[in-house]
Amino acid sequence: MHIDTLLNSVKQQAKSNINDITLSVPSSWEQGRTLYGGMSASLVYQAMRDVVDSEKVMRSLSTNFIGPIEADTEFSIIVEVLREGKNVTQVVGRIVQDNKVALMSQASFGIARQSIVNISDPLQHNMDYPQAPNFILQIPKVTPKFLGYFDLAQSKGGLPFTGKKDSDVHGWMRFKKPPNDSSDAHLIALIDIWPPTILQMLNSPAMASTLSWNLEFIHPHQKMSGGDWFAYQAHTRQAADGYAHTEANILDKHGSLVAISRQVVAVFA
């Protein structure tokens, strides 16, 4: 099932009754024993987006992955506006399945205001555009099912469980079948596709899971299209005692910074 179908379902239900959004996601979006986290966060964001004035854009999104979300099983998305101010609106969204909270997100939406402070980020990714032979292959029963919806081209780092000494990951990402447009909801679903940076340092398979994920979106950014490649550069800030702290810059095809991603990852090795 294409991402547009799922996002459109949330949009249509939100228009009729924001307090009654239910859907199920097929197993093709599975990541281990749960749904792919980027998709889950994207769906909750879409529901939150629909209760906020369009002039306010998402500035930050913090997501906690609390429990597994089963595929092909109905769940509810519950949205609550915490505070609606003149400049900023704070919203919380939850996924509830079997009467248990499985995911919780808090988003901050803010309008653009005149300011004497204007600082441009000089960051450049300096990565060549990907070529087809460099794409990460989809291997049945090895790579997660949801990766079949995306193209990945890695330029630095290694595949999980290959014993690399480096913990950084650079590469490119895009939707395999482009969506009709490229909204912030699509970008949320795209950014999370990379495996945790530290997994490439392991010599054998081990469990890992994201505890929390914080996204900051940079506005304004140039118009994006559904088939665009986005550059991804992730760095491990610190890892010890079974937890790793990573951050990543996401840049568009023009080389402009569009998002900053930070994660806390639990690794069982």
Instruction: Provide block-wise average pLDDT over 10 residues at a time, the chain (269 residues).
Output: 95 88 96 94 97 95 97 97 96 97 98 84 78 65 83 89 91 94 94 93 90 93 88 95 96 92 95
Token pair recorded at residue 234: 């992730």
Looking at domain 123-268, which CATH architecture does it have? Roll (3.10)
Token pair recorded at residue 107: 């988003």
Q: Which pLDDT score, from 0 to 100, does residue 137 have?
A: 64
Q: Are 46 and 58 in contact (CB under 8 A)?
A: no
Q: Are 199 and 160 in contact (CB under 8 A)?
A: yes
Q: Which pLDDT score, from 0 to 100, does residue 123 have?
A: 75
Q: Are 216 and 59 in contact (CB under 8 A)?
A: yes
Q: Which pLDDT score, from 0 to 100, does residue 135 have?
A: 66
Q: Which pLDDT score, from 0 to 100, does residue 141 have?
A: 61
Q: Which pLDDT score, from 0 to 100, does residue 115 have?
A: 86
Strands 169-175 and 150-156: antiparallel
Prediction pTM value: 0.93
Q: Which pLDDT score, from 0 to 100, does residue 190 have?
A: 97
Which is nearest to 48 in space by CA: 94, 4, 97? 94
Q: Which pLDDT score, from 0 to 100, does residue 146 have?
A: 92
* Whole-number Å distance between alpha carbons of 186 and 179: 8
Q: Which pLDDT score, from 0 to 100, does residue 259 have?
A: 96
Pick the CATH number of 1-113 from 1.10.1370.10, 3.20.20.70, 3.40.50.10860, 3.10.129.10: 3.10.129.10
CB-count burial class (<10 Å; 0-12, 13-18, 19+) for 35:
buried
Ranges of each domain in the chain: 1-113, 123-268
| Same CATH fold assignment for domains 1-113 and 123-268 | yes
Q: Are 169 and 199 in contact (CB under 8 A)?
A: no
* Whole-number Å distance between alpha carbons of 138 and 179: 20
Which is nearest to 250 in space by CA: 261, 240, 239, 241? 261
Q: Which pLDDT score, from 0 to 100, does residue 254 have?
A: 86
Q: Which pLDDT score, from 0 to 100, does residue 15 have?
A: 87
